[in-house]
Structure 1
Amino acid sequence: MTRNIAPAGLTQVVIAGGGIGGLAAALACSRQGVAVQLMERASQFSEVGAGIQIGPNVTRILQAWGLEDGLNRVAAFPKRLQARDAQTGQVLGRLRLGERAQALYGAPYATIHRADLHALLLDAAQAAGVQTALGQTIAGWSESAEGVTVQSVSGQTWQADALVGADGVWSAVRQQLLADAPARFTGHLAFRALVPQADLPQGLRSDEVTVWMGPRLHVVHYPVQAGRALNVIAIVHGEKPANPHDWDHAGHADTLMQAIGHTGNDLRQRLEAIPAWRLWALHDRAPVSAASQMAQGRVALLGDAAHPMRPYLAQGAGMAIEDAQVLAQCLAQGSGTVAHRLQAYAEKRWARNARVQARAIRNGQIFHAQGLVAIGRNLSMRLMGERLMDVPWLYGGGSVTA
């Protein structure tokens, strides 16, 4: 069965993937008057139970999309980020967020449950007229001078002017477009937990972002759900899983406890208070090296499909949201053919995404440093503090305008 997308006077787009990146792209395009059909392989919309950090570069865009009230309702807005030594518990440096972030960058620093952000984007996208097709896995597409024909595994087809692959790190759209190697295992495993703050001893509750740095590991925790819950991520070095696609399953606490055995009591007490964990094997790709890795012809990639990155700069979802904003602007306001507009999107995005990918890799090396390198890290953070921890080129948004 063929389903034609109703034109909105501008480019008609099919978006593959209904996660945060896909919904952000759908909402951004729809707000620009572009008709959108969104395909999602799951039978219902859902998002995994983990928190994410969204810097001012991202909250600025979400506010421009009309989501400020929703963010204020479900997110937390930490006033400070602190870095601590995982072995000694010593505070290495602090970065003021809160009013400082608002004053410097024009938007706050927020922490939010992924499901809450997903729900905000989904509600807004549907209210904006985005059409959704659940239970539809993309099988492939064919491109002609007239447009793109997108086929699903179930046999349905859609006609559109452009296809956007926002289908994650194992992107089927990317595989057909670039035919490159699969995403690589980073050698890192992420244990994640979400704990009601009321269930924690008073001394373990927190309204800040805290990063604990130790040899071959680090731990991050911060409030979500308007401060009612604490999101905890412990990342350790580990073996590649037998099935890398099985990226979310119950994690064994004894595996984590063994990995953190050499850390100090301050950190161990926090982790031992958590009853259950979920385990992710982290995958990424080398930083983007050319615009052609993000768009060719009438097909573009967005978010993890284009530039999966390590979580050590807390910008995976953020870069997908920035991608969405620039994509919508290029499609709706650009000139020339659809291919020219998608090329403009890729040209505007690839270098910034590559820089964030590279910085995230570097941050991971710093967080997990050992020996003399760790001593140098600690000394630098004590001396420079806020100047070293802030990222003005990132939080200022670069060339991305809300």
Structure 2
Amino acid sequence: MTSMEETVLVAGGGIGGLACALSIGVSGVPVTVLEQAGDFAEIGAGIQLGPNAMRVLSDWGLDVPLRSIASYPDDLRVRDSRDGRELGHLRLGATALSRFGQPYACVHRADFHQLLREAVRSRTPAKLRLQTTVKDFHVQSHGVHVTLDDGQTLSGAALIGCDGLWSRVRDGLLGAARPQFTGHLAYRGLVQADSVGLESRRNSVQLWLGARMHVVAYPVRDGRWINLVAVVHDGLGEDPDSDRPRRWAREARVEDLLVKTGPLAGHLRDLIDAVPVWTRWPLYDRRPLRGPSEHAIGPVALLGDAAHPLRPHLAQGAAMAIEDAWAIGQLIDRLAAPLDWAALFARYAAQRWERNARVQRMSQRNGRLYHASGLCRLGRNVGLRLLGEQVLVNRWLYGGPPEMHGRA
């Protein structure tokens, strides 16, 4: 029997937390996932999984079951939001598979979360605890002592904070510091594909760029549904719902969205109008990582948004959490037992922080380019038309994670 003190405690049961439990658990290490919600369910709508994320999922043997729930777009088409003209084009589908050895996929968050959950339950010794929230923790000579909101305590060999943007584990590790409101609001919605026109139903990731806004749409659930995300600037420059709980989406009105987007191309407007229910998310982030100590200290590590929250302008939030989880699992496999978690996490942080910081900066840069106006917008459009795939292909990112190169 394994004592509780040898267990790794994972705070958060979202995509990052379950990916972490899977990566650690398949090595035989006992894991306990602590999830504050009353059930293991993922909110939100769609996510994009680039070839870098798919490479990890393939290594975990999840690429085959993923096929039953994912869509695999043929291309990315970048358009002007006002007149609909094409600005840039990136081939995905067979071309992505040829370039990177892995496809580009889109999936509904809830479907993907369930896939991870089933893999954790069937392939690992992990325990999944609901309605369990980490309040604080203390590092001790034998590991980490965790206090829960209800006053219970747990001990483990290590603690991994996968508890998102408002992470309590991060607060305990690095000191309490609020994320910063970006001034952007994300409106999200799903629409059945057979309720919109042929142009909107194409098997593509479609990206419309405008002044101080952009909209992205892509197929999920084998193309039967279309996921939409519209990111707009908030005129007030502050979170309009700052007095409400930040962990959940708010219902939204399409009329408010359309005020912020301005005039739209006809088929984009039709697609937006077809969405039956919109939700709104204020977007927060933190400055890019500045060193490995912001990823892990001693037997406590941060993963995904808890360490490096990303704006959605590069579609890499889930992918970077998956890469983080994979990296920890690989280190477990390479190090001899008994595991020194402080040393393992130091190697993990050194390995991951620069790539994650670069992706954070790239996401912020993309937001500026996507929302450009005036001469900057004209220059962006000319560059996209002239350079096309050279600008969009992103070989450095999609070729990762870099530690996987050279493996059999």
Q: Would you say same fold, with TM above 0.5? A: yes
* d(CA) in 2 for partners of 1:6, 1:27: 19
Q: 1:17-36 to 2 correspondence within 5 Å?
A: 17-36=12-31
Which residue is equivalent to 1:342?
Answer: 345
Q: CA deviation at 1:376?
A: 0.5
Which residue is equivalent to 1:82?
Answer: 77
* d(CA) in 2 for partners of 1:257, 1:382: 27
Contact 2:70 2:220 in 1 (8 A): yes
Q: Answer with 178-187 or 193-202: which moved more.
A: 193-202
Q: Are 1:393 and 2:389 an aligned pair?
A: no
Q: CA deviation at 1:140?
A: 1.3
Paired letter, 2:289: V
Which residue is equivalent to 1:326?
Answer: 327
Q: Are 1:241 and 2:244 an aligned pair?
A: no
Q: 1:366-381 to 2 correspondence within 5 Å?
A: 366-381=369-384
Among all aligned residue pairs of Structure 1 and Structure 2, give the percentage whose two residues are the same amino acid. 44
Contact 1:6 1:35 in 2 (8 A): no
Which residue is equivalent to 1:360?
Answer: 363
Q: 1:2-401 to 2 correspondence within 5 Å?
A: 4-5=3-4, 12-128=7-123, 129-238=125-234, 239=236, 240-243=239-242, 245=246, 247-334=248-335, 337-401=340-404
* d(CA) in 1 for partners of 2:25, 2:262: 50
* d(CA) in 2 for partners of 1:202, 1:266: 10
Give the unaligned 5+ runs of structure 1: none
Contact 1:214 1:369 in 2 (8 A): yes
Contact 2:323 2:401 in 1 (8 A): no
Q: Answer with 127-136 or 356-365: which moved more.
A: 127-136
Paired letter, 1:276: V
Residues 322-353 of structure 1: CA deviation (Å, up to 9, x unaligned): 00000122234236732111010000000000
Q: TM-score, normalised by structure 2?
A: 0.94
Q: Answer with 95-104 or 352-361: which moved more.
A: 95-104
Q: Secondary structure at the match of 1:218?
A: strand
* d(CA) in 2 for partners of 1:213, 1:363: 11
Q: Secondary structure at the match of 1:74?
A: coil
Q: CA deviation at 1:202?
A: 3.4
RMSD, matched Cα: 1.6
* d(CA) in 2 for partners of 1:365, 1:143: 41
Q: TM-score, normalised by structure 1?
A: 0.95
Q: Secondary structure at the match of 1:189?
A: strand
Contact 1:4 1:158 in 2 (8 A): no
* d(CA) in 2 for partners of 1:294, 1:49: 26
Contact 2:200 2:267 in 1 (8 A): no
Q: Secondary structure at the match of 1:150?
A: strand
Contact 2:5 2:155 in 1 (8 A): no
Q: CA deviation at 1:399?
A: 1.8
Residues 305-330 of structure 1: CA deviation (Å, up to 9, x unaligned): 00001000000010000000001222
* d(CA) in 2 for partners of 1:286, 1:262: 33
* d(CA) in 2 for partners of 1:156, 1:106: 47
Contact 1:249 1:280 in 2 (8 A): yes
* d(CA) in 2 for partners of 1:57, 1:218: 24
* d(CA) in 2 for partners of 1:95, 1:268: 23
Q: CA deviation at 1:275?
A: 2.4
